[in-house]
Every structure is written in structure tokens, then in C-alpha cells.
Amino acid sequence: AQSVTQLGSHVSVSEGALVLLRCNYSSSVPPYLFWYVQYPNQGLQLLLKYTTGATLVKGINGFEAEFKKSETSFHLTKPSAHMSDAAEYFCAVRGVNDYKLSFGAGTTVTVRA
Amino acid sequence: EAQVTQNPRYLITVTGKKLTVTCSQNMNHEYMSWYRQDPGLGLRQIYYSMNVEVTDKGDVPEGYKVSRKEKRNFPLILESPSPNQTSLYFCAIRQKSTDTQYFGPGTRLTVL
């Protein structure tokens, strides 16, 4: 079974500052890991994913995440926040042969001008 | 990219009145699923379907039914809705080529 813990339900950053969203997972098998973003009143959009290979994954809108097996983490970062990054972000995990996604509780990001 | 549509997008109903939320996709993807999103809980899987006539329970199936009579449609049925089913519902498909799930726009359901 897989599960995800997102540290911090709300994160507030200044425009231009680093965005860091934390995600830790537990999994009995090598996992696939995902970050999704949900803008207000919209569905979920895939930001990036890790399956195999390079542990530093680049996604859309300048986001990236690093898979660290020793720390069971998959933290999401963006060097410079933009007002348009205000949204809710979800980390998710699944097994290789199990298509069910297990989601974290989500982190809401607000960006201060 | 895969396209998933849901109807209705918003629904207010009363306890016990049967309702169906439709989900359709445009590219014959085999795997479809339903999730509900609740504050502080993230998304939880209700039901999924691996293919036509093949469905199975997710983590929170109580009070819901699904059917998969044709590949492109996967309706979610609430036979007797209750207030604790007030939630935001998402249908998702798995795109085989990228092994990635894509989500519909969501249906916000309120049961009074």
C-alpha cells in the first residue's frame, strides 16, 4: 500500500521567492510519483511525474521535483514564484502495476505581491 | 491530449433523490476512475474500471455505483444520496502511452 504526507496545508510566499512544497511517501514497492496542480474552480493538471531514471524531474511552469529514495521524499520547487502560481498542489503516489493514485491532503499556495 | 468531460458541473439535490454524474472520454482509453475531493483529505478513489464490463471498488465505494457498458463512458450513480456525499467529484482516465492519469473538470455536488 502507498500513502503520501504533504507537510504544510498552507504556504505563503512573496512574488519572486522560492517555492518549496514538501511531500513524503511510504510505499512497499518502488513508486511512481506525481505532482498535480489545481487552480481555483478547475480540475487537476499534471505538473510533473517520476517513474524511473533521472531523479530530478522538470515539469511545466518552471517547477521541478527531486526523488530521494533514502529520504522517501519528492519535494516540489520553483526558484521564483509568480502570482499565477497561486493554487492548490497535490502530491500523489502509485505502484508500478497499480493504477490507483493515493493523494496527499494538498498544499494551498498563496503568493504575496 | 486526452479529454475528459463531466456533466453536470454543478448539482444541488436533496437526500434520497437518485442522480447520475456522467463521464466521457474521447480516445478509447481502457482505464477510468472516479475520485472525490474533500478538504484536508485530498482525493480518494471511489471506483475504477479496467475495461468494458470490468469495474472494481476503490477506497470509498459506499453509497456509489458505476457501470461501464461502453469504453468511452463511465457514469457515477448515487442511488440514494446523503449529505455526507456532498463533495467535488473527478473522473480520470489513464493514458496508456504515457502511463499518466488525466482528470476531468470536476462536478461539485451538494446534497441537502
Q: What does pLDDT average to over chain B?
A: 94
Mutate to test the interface with B, among A45, A103, A107, A108 (most CBs of B within 10 A): A103
Q: DSSP for B42-108?
A: EEEEEEEEEETTEEEE-S--TT-EE--SSTTB--EEESS--GGG-EEEEEEEEETTTTEEEE---EE
Rounded distance between C-alpha atoms, residue A92 and residue B111, angstroms? 28
Cell of A43: 480540475
Cβ pair A43:B103 closer than 8 A: yes
Average pLDDT value for residue range A43-60: 93
User: What percent of chain A has pLDDT above 90?
Assistant: 77
Which residue of chain A comes nearest to B37, CA vs CA?
A: A105
A95, A27 in Cβ contact below 8 A?
A: yes
Q: Which of A23-32, A39-48, B68-77 has the highest mean pLDDT?
A: B68-77
Average pLDDT value for residue range B62-76: 97
Rounded distance between C-alpha atoms, residue A2 and residue A70, angstroms? 16
Q: Counting beta carbons within 10 angstroms of the beta carbon of residue A74, is it exposed (0 to 12), middle (13 to 18) or buried (19 or more)?
A: buried
pLDDT score at A72: 93
pLDDT score at B4: 93
Query: What is the number of other CB atoms lying within 10 angstroms of the CB of residue A83?
Result: 10
Higher pLDDT, A53 or A18: A18
pLDDT score at A106: 96
Q: For residue range A77-102, what is the model confidence (pLDDT) as tens digits?
A: 999 999 999 999 999 999 878 888 99
- Give residue B1's pLDDT band: very low, low, confident or very high (50, 70, 90): low
Q: Does A43 touch chain B (CB under 8 A)?
A: yes
A109, A86 in Cβ contact below 8 A?
A: yes
Cell of A36: 498535480
Q: Which of A53-57, B7-11, B96-100 has the highest mean pLDDT?
A: B7-11
